[in-house]
Every structure is written in C-alpha cells, then in structure tokens.
Amino acid sequence: MKSTFKFLVTLAFIITIILGQHLKDVEIEVKVNDLLHQMTFAEKVGQMTQFSGTNKRYEQMIREGKIGSLLNVIGAEENNRLQKIAVEESRLGIPLVIGLDVIHGYRTIFPIPLAASASWDTVLIRKAAEIAAKEAASAGIHWTFAPMVDIARDARWGRIAEGAGEDPFLGSAMARAQVLGFQGKSLADPLTLLACGKHFVAYGGAEGGRDYNTVDISERTLREIYLPLFKAAVDAGVGTLMSAFNEIGGVPASANQFTLQTILKGEWGFDGFVVSDWNSIGELVAHGIAKDRLEAGVKGLTAGVDMDMEGRCYTIDMEALVADGTLSEELINDAVRRILRIKFKLGLFEHPYIDESIQKELILHQDHIQTALELARESIVLLKNKRDILPLNRKELNTIALIGPLADDKDAPLGTWRCQGKQEDVVTVYEGLKNKLGDEVKIIYAKGCDVKNNSRTEFNKAIKVVRKADIVVMVMGESADMSGEAASRADLSLPGVQAELLNAIAETNKPVVLVLMNGRPLTLSNVESKVTAIVEAWHLGIQHGNAVADVLVGDYNPSGKLTATFPRSVGQIPIYYNHKNSGRPNNPSDKFTSKYIDLPSSPLYPFGYGLSYTKFKYSDIKVLNNRLLSSDELVVSVNVKNVGKRDGDEVVQLYIRDMVGSVTRPVKELKGFQRVALEAGEQKTVQFRVPVQELRFYDSDMKYTVEPGDFSVMIGGNSVEGLTANFKVISLK
Ligand code: NOJ
C-alpha cells in the first residue's frame, strides 16, 4: 500500500516535470515564431552570421541586427558592453550568443583532452568541464566550441590532442561527460556553457594525417567509427554542432546534405543548430564546388549549416535568390528558428548580462586547481618501469639530474587551445619536484638542448650534471604548438636533437627516467631501449609539475591507460586496435600474410595500455548466461586482485569480438570499462552488463542490427591481454 502510494507520487512528480518541460518548450516555440514574423530578411541573415572579435563596424552591424553571434571577445565587461548594444540598441533587441574555444579549461587549465581521456574517468572529466564552464561563463561567455569528438586513428594529425583518441565507445563516453559538464542541468543556469560537438564529421580521417586534407571513407566506417560520438553528444543534449573543413568522398562536410540533413537533422532529430567552422562555407570555393561566396552560402545553407562563422557567405544577396525561387525561404526560417530557440533556452532574453563581480571569486578557485591536479595525475600513463625503478626512492637518493628542454618550461604544459591560461599559473616539473623533495634530495637541472633548434652546445654541460647524479630524469617531447590545429607532423620521433642528447646521456650508464610531454602518440623505438622508465605526461595543464612529481616519488600510483595506439614507426600508420582481421592475418612463419618485412605489425604500446606501481591479476571470467536474445544483456564478471604492495586503481576493460558476420567485423571492440580502486592485496569481482543492442553494426544491407551467432568477450587491463569467454546471440526464429 505504502509502496503503491510512493510509486504514484513519484509518477505524478515525473509527469509534472515532463509536462512542465513540454510547456516550456511550447512557450519557447511560440516566442521564436513570434519574433521570426517580425524580422526582416537582413535581420534573419544577421542571426545566422558570426564574427570574431569586435570593432566599430561590427558594433554598428550589431545595432542594425546584422550579427547574431560573436566569438573571441574576452572579459565580462567587454561582453556585457557588446550585449548591451544588441539588447538595447537593436530594433528587436535579440541578444548575442558569444562563443569561445574553451577546450580544456578557461583560466584553470586542465590536461589536454587526449591526456584527460587516458584517465578513463568520466566523472572527473565532467567535473573539469563544469569548472571550465563556470569560469568562462563568469567572463560573459555563453558558448564553447567543445567537445571535439573526432576519432583520430592517425597520430600525425595534430588535432589528435583535442579528442579522446581512437575508440568510438570510449569517445562516446567522453563526449557525454563533457556535454553534461559544460551544459549542466539547465542551459539557463548562468554558470553553464552551451556546448558544441565538433567537427561534423570525419575530420580526423584526413589522408596522410595532414590537417584539412581529403577524407574518403565508406558509409559503414562513417556510421560505425566517426558518427557514434556525435550521436552520443546529441543524445546528451548538446545544443550545437560545428560542420567540418574536410570533404567526405567528394562532398565537403559543410555542404553535405547526407550527413547534416539526412542523418543529423533527419534520422537523429537534432533540434539545436549547426555552426560552420571558420570560413568552412567560404572554403567551398577552394574545394571547387562553388564559384563564389554566394553559391557557397546557398550550398552550406541547403545542407543545413545554420550559422556562418567568419565566412561572410550568408548575406542579404540571398534575398534575390529567394525572390527568384533558387533558395527556399523556409531554409532560412528554419536556421533562424534553431538559433533563436537556443538563445531562449540559454535564458539570454531574460538575463542577457553576466554579473561582473563573480569572475573574481571563481577564476582559479582553489577547488578548481585541486581538480586540475587530480585529473592531471590520473592522465599520466606509465609506459615502462624496468626493475621497478619508479617510484624514486627518496630515502636512498642523494642527487637527481633533471635534464631536458621541457623540465622547467611553463608554456608546454598549457598545451594547444589554452584559452585564458597563463604561464604564471603553471607548475613545471622542476618546481613540482622541488616542492615535493625540498632539501631531502638534491636536484641539479640542465636544459641540455631546445625542443626545436638543433644546437648541441649545451650537451656537455648536461652530461657533466648527469655524472654527479644517482639517477637522471629527462623531460622531453613536443612544445605546445606542435600539436593542435594546423600542427600535423610527418615525423613522430622526439623533435630536434632531443634523442641525440638522450643517447649521449644514456652512455653514462646512469639510469634514465624519461618523462614525455606531447600532444600525440610519439614513435619511441629509437629511445625506448635506452631508458629504464617512461612516464607519459602529455600536456597536463597548470598542475603539470605537481602531478608528475606525485607520480615520480610515488605519492600517486599511476593508473592512466592509452586511448591512442603508439606506433613503432610512422610507416605503420594508420594503426589502431579495432582493425579488421583481413583474409591473411599476420602469421610470422608465413611470408604471404599481412605484415611488413622490416617491422612487426604490432604497435610499441597498444590502446588501453598503462602500467602501475602495483600488479593486478585477473582470474575467473564468468559469463552469467551465454545464450542471449537481442533484447538481453550480457552479464559477465571477472576477479581482479591487487597482488602488489601498493594501493592502486585499475581501468578494467571489456572487449568483444563478433566471430562471423554478414560483413567483416573488427578483431576487438571496446564495450565496457570501469575504474576500480584496489588496496594492496584486495580482490574485487568486477561485473559488466552489456546490452546486446550494443553489439549492433551495419550489416550487408546497411541495416543497424545484431546478427545472431558466436561472440567472444575479453576482459583485461589493455586491448591485448585478457581473459576470454564465449557467448552466443540466438534468434527467436
Ligand atoms: C577553427 C577550428 O577548427 C575550430 O575547432 C575552432 O572552434 C574555430 N576555429 C574557432 O576558433
């Protein structure tokens, strides 16, 4: 009786919420339509226009209703000032929506997204996005061009730094976490940001890993590998998407009716708006599918790009095309409706201004810095640790030689897209170690060389320092501008003369711990055997040095796992764990199988890989029910025991393989993961529940379905090693 009552109350509550939301949505639609009817053609096109920065001319255009959005305007006061022009001086008083690339923090800079994804910690990543939103919103920003949800299977592509790596399942989880973090519970909350999933779509598939380059992939790969992250973002309620620079099989993404209209706005029912990338509509001319900006504008709009970023392609000249029937006015109305809808959802009509006093309290708040430290620690991946040289034994060490161009560098930790991050906020590795070790262990530092220039003049000084030390910590890698947009590299080894310096130092026979800082997987084959340990520290944000020091001395036990494969050589690229088997899978004793004659096919470090200062033992994999209907869940468990002497976290990963399909299937696909904390000696049973629907793929008729048949499931600590079991999906027929 009591429980029935409780149930009814809960039901009534839920219905009230749903009805309330529905009423709000209806109310917004009424307001949008009302406003739309009052707008001139020029005002409509104005809403669809976004410019960067500001000047007197733009201010006049805002006054005339000819700009609907700005990006790259910094500071609460300035944003309020411009907003005031829109709200109080334009005819209809439609507020601006102001955007900025808040990618991994606003002023409190977190690890770059590729690094953060190595934490596999969706809770912490969501929290970091929430903090970024708070800080940016307090500075008058409404909209971030993040998360980047592009799959990257090619480490040459500099923008691999901005995403979650190579896997669609993990990438979808990260997309969800970031959208929920940025957008919070309600877009109308003044301390949240409207998110933007980018770059729609397949931008990471650039040939040769060269930014902006051609993409040519099958519809199956598009749907199974590249689109799921966008779908996850849309399902999480992302308000906007950004159309990409690249073409896909002959059709530029910013003029692509199939991806934008058919899939996004049709199949997925996306009701937010699409903004172009920077002049990506204008670039349709260079792509060679439009003769001028006007034609490019028509193509972009027809495809479903609602707002033109810095392209000057959506103009009043379109009015003549509407008049002569070349362009449907309904396309324009639909775009404007979408933009206005979001502006209402953001609450900009009711609260157009930000309280200028709150930024002071929020920016670089102690809690934000603490979260930056936690995420930085979790992002670190221990790649090698011979003879358990790490953690450093501070009791027995007298002197550490700290060498390398990035050891005391305040710029690289900020990484690509550092927004308002400042060097003065950054803790370097040198500072982090000094903070940690004080007078206990002597640290002698020598830079040794630069990242980019090839001077060897400092080598000898560094070698002299090394001779005085018990152990060498070398901090090397890429400067911040070597990854991110327009920063593709053809050679992925340590840049400049860093490897040479490392080799010279290794000849002293002192143990070397290599701490890497980079925005992408590197090829390390020429240095890997020369060093005793490798700590992958990426670009970790303002707390970089403290996080690295925590790991080096063992105050934090590393738990990060790679989310992008580390190749042995650039020649192996593209290399990713979820590849197909081919008709002749690699067999070392058979020449006529798929492999290189000069290199193994395997990577140096696989997806999902990362060591700990303790060891985890997996045992007893159990599939609860190994005959499943397509409506069932696969329930599978495994015991994981910490068999070492330190407490630690393990990211337990579940992969499946569909053994026989109507089309070929990958050799492995990630379908579950859990971060598990285990004290020394502790064992836990880790259970996964994978809906059979999660095993769907596009069959030979391009139907999204699960095919009955045999599957194997593997659970382990990376994509290569694990315990396996089998199950079947049976059909009811
Ligand atoms: C170009 C980049 O591709 C995109 O990611 C970014 O959001 C815009 N510029 C705006 O800065």
What CATH code is carried by the domain that includes residue 485? Answer: 3.40.50.1700
Beta strand pairing call for 399-403 and 471-477: parallel
Question: Which residues constitute the domain of residue 76?
Answer: 42-98
Q: Are residues 384 and 526 in the same domain?
A: yes
Q: Are residues 435 and 561 in the same domain?
A: yes
DSSP conformational letter for 666: B
Q: Are residues 560 and 621 in the same domain?
A: no
Determine the distance separating the centroid of ligand 1 and the alpha carbon of 100, expressed in angstroms.
Answer: 9
For residue 101 and ligand 1, the question of a CB distance below 6 A is answered with yes
417 lies in some domain: yes
Instruction: Place 1 in a pLDDT band, splitting at 50, 70 and 90.
Output: low
HSE value, Cβ hemisphere, 13 Å, CA-based, for 563 = 35
498 lies in some domain: yes
Determine the distance separating the centroid of ligand 1 and the alpha carbon of 577, expressed in angstroms.
Answer: 29
Beta bridge partners of residue 724, listed in sequence order: 714
User: Which of 538, 572, 606 is the endpoint of a domain?
Assistant: 572
668: its two tokens: 């492995």
The alpha helices in 325-365, defined as continuous H runs, are 329-345, 358-362
Determine the distance separating the centroid of ligand 1 and the alpha carbon of 539, expressed in angstroms.
Answer: 20
Q: E strands within 219-314?
A: 240-243, 247-248, 251-252, 273-276, 308-309
Instruction: Place 17 in a pLDDT band, splitting at 50, 70 and 90.
Output: low
Mean pLDDT of the chain: 97
136 lies in some domain: no
Taking the C-alpha atoms of residue 253 and residue 212, their distance in angstroms, rounded to an integer, is: 11
According to the model, what pLDDT value does residue 18 have? 67
- Confidence check: pLDDT of 313 > 80: yes
Taking the C-alpha atoms of residue 546 and residue 432, their distance in angstroms, rounded to an integer, is: 4
Q: Are 413 and 115 in contact (CB under 8 A)?
A: no
pLDDT tens digits, residue range 384-440? 999 999 999 999 999 999 999 999 999 999 999 999 999 999 999 999 999 999 999
- Confidence check: pLDDT of 733 > 70: no
Q: Are residues 567 and 623 in the same domain?
A: no
For residue 198 and ligand 1, the question of a CB distance below 6 A is answered with yes
292 lies in some domain: no
Q: Are residues 421 and 556 in the same domain?
A: yes
Determine the distance separating the centroid of ligand 1 and the alpha carbon of 167, expressed in angstroms.
Answer: 22
For CA atoms 350, 353, 355, 358, the dihedral sign is: positive
Q: Which of 277, 306, 409, 649 is catalytic?
A: 277
Beta bridge partners of residue 198, listed in sequence order: 148, 242
According to the model, what pLDDT value does residue 8 have? 73
The tokens 């923008």 sit on which residue? 159
According to the model, what pLDDT value does residue 10 have? 73
HSE value, Cβ hemisphere, 13 Å, CA-based, for 51 = 18
Q: Are residues 414 and 482 in the same domain?
A: yes
- Helix or strand run (H / E) with residue 95: none
Q: Are residues 558 and 431 in the same domain?
A: yes
Is the entire prediction scored with pTM above 0.85?
A: yes
Query: SS3 for 478?
Result: coil
Q: CB atoms < 10 A from the CB of 287, how many? A: 19
For residue 485 and ligand 1, the question of a CB distance below 6 A is answered with yes
111 lies in some domain: no
According to the model, what pLDDT value does residue 19 have? 67
677 lies in some domain: yes
Taking the C-alpha atoms of residue 297 and residue 307, their distance in angstroms, rounded to an integer, is: 10
According to the model, what pLDDT value does residue 376 have? 99
pLDDT tens digits, residue range 216-250? 999 999 999 999 999 999 999 999 999 999 999 99
pLDDT tens digits, residue range 678-732? 999 999 999 999 999 999 999 999 999 999 999 999 999 999 999 999 999 998 7
According to the model, what pLDDT value does residue 151 have? 98
Q: Are residues 660 and 521 in the same domain?
A: no
Percentage helix, strand, coil for the chain under 3-state DSSP, each rounded to 5: 35, 20, 45
Q: Are 159 and 132 in contact (CB under 8 A)?
A: no
What CATH code is carried by the domain that includes residue 698? Answer: 2.60.40.10
User: Which of 98, 116, 132 is the endpoint of a domain?
Assistant: 98
9 lies in some domain: no
116: its two tokens: 């953060």
Q: Are 479 and 412 in contact (CB under 8 A)?
A: yes
For a pocket test of ligand 1, which of 278, 308, 416, 483 has the largest count of ligand atoms closer than 8 A to its C-beta? 278
Beta strand pairing call for 273-276 and 240-243: parallel
Beta bridge partners of residue 248, listed in sequence order: 215, 251
Taking the C-alpha atoms of residue 74 and residue 51, their distance in angstroms, rounded to an integer, is: 14
According to the model, what pLDDT value does residue 3 have? 66
- Confidence check: pLDDT of 360 > 90: yes
- Confidence check: pLDDT of 292 > 90: yes
167 lies in some domain: no
Determine what percent of the chain is predicted with pLDDT higher than 70. Answer: 98
Atom 7 of ligand 1 has which residue's CA nearest to it? 145
Q: Are 65 and 43 in contact (CB under 8 A)?
A: yes
712: its two tokens: 């194997």
Please name which of 634, 568, 632 lies closest in space to residue 602, comparing C-alpha atoms: 568
Q: Are residues 386 and 533 in the same domain?
A: yes
Average of per-residue pLDDT across 524-552: 98
- Confidence check: pLDDT of 20 > 80: no
Q: What's the total number of domains in the chain?
A: 3
CA 159 to each of CA 62, 125, 155, 621, 652: distance values in angstroms, whole numbers, following the listed order: 33, 19, 9, 38, 27
Q: Are residues 542 and 643 in the same domain?
A: no
- Confidence check: pLDDT of 23 > 80: no
Rounded to the nearest angstrom, the gap between the alpha carbon of residue 183 and the centroid of all alpha carbons in its chain is: 16
Annotation says 632 is catalytic: no
Q: Are 382 and 449 in contact (CB under 8 A)?
A: no
Q: Are residues 535 and 679 in the same domain?
A: no
User: Which of 63, 80, 98 is the endpoint of a domain?
Assistant: 98
72: its two tokens: 């790259």
Q: Are residues 377 and 515 in the same domain?
A: yes
Average of per-residue pLDDT across 301-307: 98
For a pocket test of ligand 1, which of 74, 212, 308, 485 has the largest count of ligand atoms closer than 8 A to its C-beta? 485
In our burial notation (b when 16+ CB lie closer than 10 A, e otherwise), range 607-636 reads: bbbbbbbbebebeebebeeeebebebebeb
